[in-house]
């Protein structure tokens, strides 16, 4: 009977040790869970701030796009009111005009010099 009581005492001691280890593990897991919940709440708060910032940037982008569209409409209206000018690659481009003016001056000075010789 003494052996049975000693065996029961050892079994009870083992069960108490196992129970204590499980409680410690449970407490560690509960602390870890609490920490993860705090991190989760912080992440949700940051996500909400980022969403607000994104929405603000989208609104700003939309406003800028509207301003660009309005400016383009105004610019097109102004361009339609301007007289049509020949393009830079037409025969009457500025470089061609400059060259023809220089040729005209050369002809005039040659004629003036010819008149003096006569």
Domain ranges of the chain: 1-82
**Which pLDDT tens digit goes with each residue over 83-108?**
886 665 555 555 555 666 666 666 66
pLDDT over 70, % of the chain: 71
Rg over alpha carbons for the chain, rounded to the nearest Å, is: 47
Q: What's the CA gap between 62 and 44, in Å, rounded? A: 27
pLDDT at 13: 96
More confident residue, 102 or 26: 26
Q: Which residue has the higher pLDDT, 62 or 112?
A: 62
Range in 9-23, 63-77, 88-102 the model is least confident about: 88-102
pLDDT of res. 66 = 97
Q: How confident is the model at residue 118 (pLDDT cuts 50, 70, 90)?
A: very low
The distance of Cα 54 from the centroid of its chain, to the nearest Å, equals 10
Cβ contacts of 21-30, under 8 Å, gap ≥ 24: none
Let me know: does 39 contact 47? Beta carbons within 8 Å: no
The model's pTM: 0.49
- Two tokens at 48? 């909400």
């Amino acid at each position: 009977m003494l052996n049975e009581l000693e065996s029961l005492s050892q079994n009870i001691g083992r069960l108490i040790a196992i129970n204590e280890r499980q409680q410690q593990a449970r407490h560690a897991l509960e602390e870890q869970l609490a920490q993860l919940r705090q991190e989760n709440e912080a992440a949700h708060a940051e996500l909400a701030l980022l969403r607000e910032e994104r929405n603000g940037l989208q609104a700003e982008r939309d406003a800028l796009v509207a301003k660009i569209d309005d400016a383009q409409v105004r610019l097109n209206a102004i361009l339609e009111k301007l007289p049509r000018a020949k393009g830079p690659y037409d025969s009457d481009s500025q470089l061609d005009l400059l060259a023809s003016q220089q040729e005209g001056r050369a002809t005039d000075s040659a004629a003036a010099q010819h008149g003096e010789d006569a």
